[in-house]
């Protein structure tokens, strides 16, 4: 072999599109340029031999991250969020359009976002735009500016500056998106159903659960499915919690409706029965439901009804979590797990006999496809050399103060998790937390 690479990684278990294989990976100019049997003898300036307990994975792609900068940077910012991502084996994040001020609902606001990332990107960053009342005419311009798709709510979003769409408006917006094959991500809980549900005041988790019934999700998802069917547009159901909705999603997919679905680590790893009263770190919307519901979500993943697993990392400051009073009614709803997602899901998966390659497909390949990031999601010749050295049988205890995201709040404190991220490589270079090297990702160009 005369060719010389910038980096060669060698290991007995390299995750390729044909599963784990003994391989050498040759990287040049940030891309995988060779993927050959172990023993081929590729050479490079930097060579890395995996330890016997390590595997090589493609970097994870997390398409559901609320960075909140600019405007609510005290909740989370690009510096801290992308550090957490890198430490957790996530090499690409896609930022949600809300909770920052301004929300990403215009090209001007997108520009503010981009500026906010400068000098702070430890991993690659893409953006979702926001679809809110009054900005339908902005969507095309945002699409042309390079956002990867749009997010809307079907009920109050939790922040005043990001309004929600009624189902008829959703349909109207879907028709607009269909003209340029745009993607609409939907927070699918029905506002009428939530308004009529009992209020969630107080510290009892059961009462909070009753305030966000499955029926609210089911109703909203039915709307999303039918409006996608009528318009031919692409729609994506965010953070599915209600397993009741799985059969109708499966039917819609069989019918050819262009619908995809995600769920999140907390719905797969946690259960309502185990949430202590007053433990508002577990509050998120839709809520973590019962253990039986969780089992059905796993089944939905395994049978392909659910496409992917992303974190919905949505932190806030400690005061907004009402940690002192434990009042679920007014506590901020959001679970921060960007750094822990892979280990959380892997820990749960292995007890269910679900192989690691399947977990990685849900957390890397599928989210990359959802966001149209053709360069990402697998280790393959021609793709970005975003790589993670992972020790699946190693374990660690979650210490909140050791996490990189801005506020040391986590639903996983003191849990022992399987799977340690030992090294994260972005475009062929080890992530160095003193030297942010992440790029911006734009639709059609990444
Ligand atoms: Zn979210």
Cα 203 to averaged position of ligand 1 atoms, centre (Å): 23
Cα 349 to averaged position of ligand 1 atoms, centre (Å): 23
Residues 403, 410 contacting (CB under 8 angstroms): yes
Phi first, then psi: what are they for 265, rounded to 5°?
Answer: -55, -40
Q: How far apart are CA 180 and CA 164, in angstroms?
A: 22
Phi first, then psi: what are they for 262, rounded to 5°?
Answer: -120, 155
Cα 164 to averaged position of ligand 1 atoms, centre (Å): 14
pLDDT at 444 over 90: no
Token pair for residue 267?
A: 């719905």
Cα 186 to averaged position of ligand 1 atoms, centre (Å): 10
Distance from the first to the final alpha carbon of the chain: 31
Whats the size of the chain, residue-wise? 446
Q: How far apart are CA 319 and CA 363, in angstroms?
A: 31
Q: What is the pLDDT of residues 60-112, one digit of tens each?
A: 999 999 999 999 999 999 999 999 999 999 999 999 999 999 999 999 999 99
Q: What is the pLDDT of residues 167-193, one digit of tens each?
A: 999 999 999 999 999 999 999 999 999
**Closest by alpha carbon to 334, among 291, 282, 299, 384?**
282
Cα 198 to averaged position of ligand 1 atoms, centre (Å): 23
Cα 226 to averaged position of ligand 1 atoms, centre (Å): 23
Cα 343 to averaged position of ligand 1 atoms, centre (Å): 20
Token pair for residue 442?
A: 């734009």
Residue 353: CB atoms within 10 A of its CB come to 6
Please give the torsion angle defined by the CA atoms of residues 247, 174, 193 and 280, in that order, rounded to the nearest 10 degrees. Answer: 90
pLDDT at 404 over 60: yes
Rounded to 5°, angle at Cα 217 from 154 and 143: 40
- The distance from CA 157 to its chain's CA centroid, rounded to whole angstroms, is 18
Token pair for residue 187?
A: 């927070």
Q: Give the pLDDT band (50/70/90) at residue 2.
A: low
Residues 76, 42 contacting (CB under 8 angstroms): no
Q: How far apart are CA 398 and CA 420, in angstroms?
A: 11
Cα 1 to averaged position of ligand 1 atoms, centre (Å): 48
pTM: 0.97
Neighbours of ion ligand 1 (CB under 5 A): 312
Cα 324 to averaged position of ligand 1 atoms, centre (Å): 24
């Amino acid at each position: 072999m005369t060719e010389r690479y910038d980096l060669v990684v060698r290991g007995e278990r390299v995750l390729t599109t044909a599963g784990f294989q003994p391989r050498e990976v040759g990287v040049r100019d940030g891309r995988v340029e060779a993927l050959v049997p172990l023993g081929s003898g590729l050479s490079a300036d930097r060579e890395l031999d995996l330890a016997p307990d390590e595997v090589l994975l493609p970097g994870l792609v997390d398409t559901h991250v609320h960075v909140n900068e600019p405007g609510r940077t005290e909740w989370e910012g690009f510096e801290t969020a992308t550090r957490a991502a890198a430490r957790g084996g996530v090499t690409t994040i896609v930022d949600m359009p809300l909770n920052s001020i301004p929300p990403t609902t215009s090209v001007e606001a997108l520009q503010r976002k981009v500026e906010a990332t400068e000098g702070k990107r430890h991993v690659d960053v893409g953006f979702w735009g926001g679809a809110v009342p009054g900005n339908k005419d902005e969507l095309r311009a945002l699409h042309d500016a390079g956002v990867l798709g749009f997010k809307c709510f079907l009920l109050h979003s939790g922040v005043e500056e990001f309004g929600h769409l009624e189902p008829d408006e959703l349909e109207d917006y879907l028709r607009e998106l269909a003209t340029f094959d745009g993607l609409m991500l939907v927070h699918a809980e029905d506002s009428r159903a939530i308004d009529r549900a009992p209020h969630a005041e107080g510290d009892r988790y059961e009462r909070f659960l009753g305030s966000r019934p499955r029926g609210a999700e089911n109703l909203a998802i039915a709307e999303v499915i039918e409006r996608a069917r009528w318009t031919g547009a692409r729609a994506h159901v965010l953070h599915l919690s209600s397993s009741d909705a799985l059969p109708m999603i499966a039917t819609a997919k069989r019918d050819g409706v262009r619908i995809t679905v995600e769920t999140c680590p907390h719905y797969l790893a946690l259960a309502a029965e185990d949430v202590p009263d007053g433990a508002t770190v577990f509050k998120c919307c839709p809520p973590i439901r019962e253990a039986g519901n969780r089992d059905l979500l796993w089944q939905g993943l395994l049978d392909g009804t659910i496409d992917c697993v992303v974190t919905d990392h949505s932190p806030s400051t400690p005061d907004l979590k009402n940690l002192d009073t434990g009042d679920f009614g007014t506590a901020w709803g959001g679970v921060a797990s960007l750094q822990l997602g892979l280990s959380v899901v892997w820990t749960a998966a292995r007890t269910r006999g679900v192989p690691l390659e399947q977990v990685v497909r849900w957390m890397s390949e599928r989210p990359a496809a959802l966001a149209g990031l053709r360069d990402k999601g697998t280790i393959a010749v021609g793709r970005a050399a975003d790589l993670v050295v992972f020790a699946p049988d190693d374990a660690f205890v979650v210490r909140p103060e050791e996490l990189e995201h801005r506020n040391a709040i986590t639903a996983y404190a003191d849990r022992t998790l399987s799977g340690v991220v030992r090294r994260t490589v972005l475009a062929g270079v080890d992530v160095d937390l003193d030297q942010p090297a992440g790029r911006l990702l734009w639709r059609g160009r990444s």
